Amino acid sequence: MSSLSLTSDTRIAVVGLGYVGLPLAVALAKKFDVIGFDISKQRISELKDGFDRTDEIEKKRLDESALELTSSVDDIHGAEIYIVTVPTPVDENNKPDLTPVRSSCEILGPVIGKNNIVVFESTVYPGVTDELCGPILAEKSGLICGEDFYLGYSPERINPGDKVHTVDKITKVISGQTPEVLEILAEVYGAVTSGGVFRASSIRVAEAAKVIENAQRDINIGFINEITMIFQKLGISVYDVLEAAGTKWNFLNFTPGLVGGHCIGVDPYYLAERAKQINHDPRIILSGRAINDGMADFVAERICAQLSGSGKILVLGLTFKENCPDLRNTKATDLINGLKVRGFGVDVHDAAADPKEAKLFFDVDLKPSLEDLDDHSYAAVVGVVSHDCYKDIPLAEFERLLEPGGLIADIKAMWRGLEKPQYLRKWQL
């Protein structure tokens, strides 16, 4: 192994500057010589102008950061540590799509040199780093993995839009191909987070730890969504039930909803795929996924059952979570489609989403403002995403937007405290 010593001059290249890579690169640039690489020239151009469309890093921090930015592979030659933060989606059949990871390895192979360390942060199933990434890097570089260059894995833990659990505050799980690599990575990540580092016993253990974090949440939300379906058929609001059950000291605080995004709605399929490869039937994992994937249509059915005939419905929220512009794998679109196939016209407003992305990815024309919508034009207003601005909508605004007898449909319990309308109906999960 190299005698690489970590100094402020140690060159680190972060590959992929999305929700995960950009905050990490900015944090590392406070301590090390860091260059951020992304294949998107538009992304690099925007970041150089101080604009982060993911809304993770504000303009002032970008402008003041020492981080270098590039879309040219040539510029990342000569780094000593490469950190890969590319996405790991699933395909239309919910099979893991490792294309971004493969592509990053094919790009880095000709770039890396002797004694370099390549660290992966992308969420994968146990075995991907050493079974897939290592061999591709070795083939493309002509170097021997574990002798000429080394692997590491440190799972990302950033939640899009979360301004509390940021990369400089969370505990970072780290792993390395050798004890020396492990200690170098402990120094790297330990230098940028006050939450400390946890040294996993192997790369596969670190990969497994990451993938079960989100699978566990998915299963718990799947249980809540299933009891929501049961209680709806019994005429009971699950939020009333959860409020009562939550008085027990060890009751787990999960709420129902549409499970989308790039983590919880995706990562369980990675674990399930690995389970199938070793001839294990991942029944609980896939059962939770099936329930959560069907939740949007269930909600659409419950809403439409309370409306007579056809009409227009206003949906508030398109992103996969509150106060965040991230549209990846949003299940709000499933709800919208469920309303449309049942004969209703649908208008959509989102206070956080980029209208261009909404049109490009989902062919949704977002309404620019609630104020410009016609009076008494909707049979229902559906609260899908609990952006802060939606929580404060007054009763008078619902009375203006809705037809007489119209429905206020509250999926996220945003309006539980709203006074009971005299001429409107109110429903919540």
Q: Is the pLDDT of residue 417 over 70?
A: yes
* Mean of pLDDT values over 71-96: 95
Q: What is the pTM of this model?
A: 0.91
The tokens describing 388, both together, are: 């802060």
Where is average pLDDT lowest: 229-233, 325-329, 388-392?
325-329
* Mean of pLDDT values over 232-258: 95
For residues 229 and 276, the answer to whether their CB atoms sit within 8 Å is: no
Q: What is the 3-state secondary structure (H, E, C) of 325-353?
A: CCCCCCCHHHHHHHHHHCCCEEEEECCCC
Catalytic residue numbers read: 263
- Quick: pLDDT tens for 20-38: 999 999 999 999 999 999 9
Residue 197 and residue 187: Cα distance in Å, rounded? 9
Confidence at 143, pLDDT banded by 50, 70, 90: very high
Q: Is the pLDDT of residue 5 over 70?
A: no
Domains present along the chain, CATH in parentheses: 11-205 (3.40.50.720), 226-428 (3.40.50.720)
Q: Which residues contact 83 (CB under 8 A, 6 or more apart)?
A: 12, 13, 14, 15, 21, 24, 119, 120, 121, 154
Q: Give the model's pLDDT for residue 3.
A: 58
Is the CA virtual torsion 256, 261, 265, 268 positive or negative? negative
**Residue 383 identity:** G
Q: Give the model's pLDDT for residue 117.
A: 97
- Quick: pLDDT tens for 272-299: 999 999 999 999 999 999 999 999 999 9
- Quick: pLDDT tens for 169-208: 999 999 999 999 999 999 999 999 999 999 999 999 999 9
- Residue 252's Cβ-count burial label (10 Å; 0-12, 13-18, 19+) is exposed
Put the strands of the sheet holding 312-316 in their side by side order. Answer: 345-349, 312-316, 378-383, 402-410, 425-428
Question: For the residues of 301-332, what is the DSSP string, one character each?
Answer: HHHHHTS-S--EEEEE--SSSTT----TT-SH
402 DSSP β-pair partners: 378
- Quick: pLDDT tens for 35-67: 999 999 999 999 999 999 988 999 999 999 999
Residue 386 and residue 429: Cα distance in Å, rounded? 14
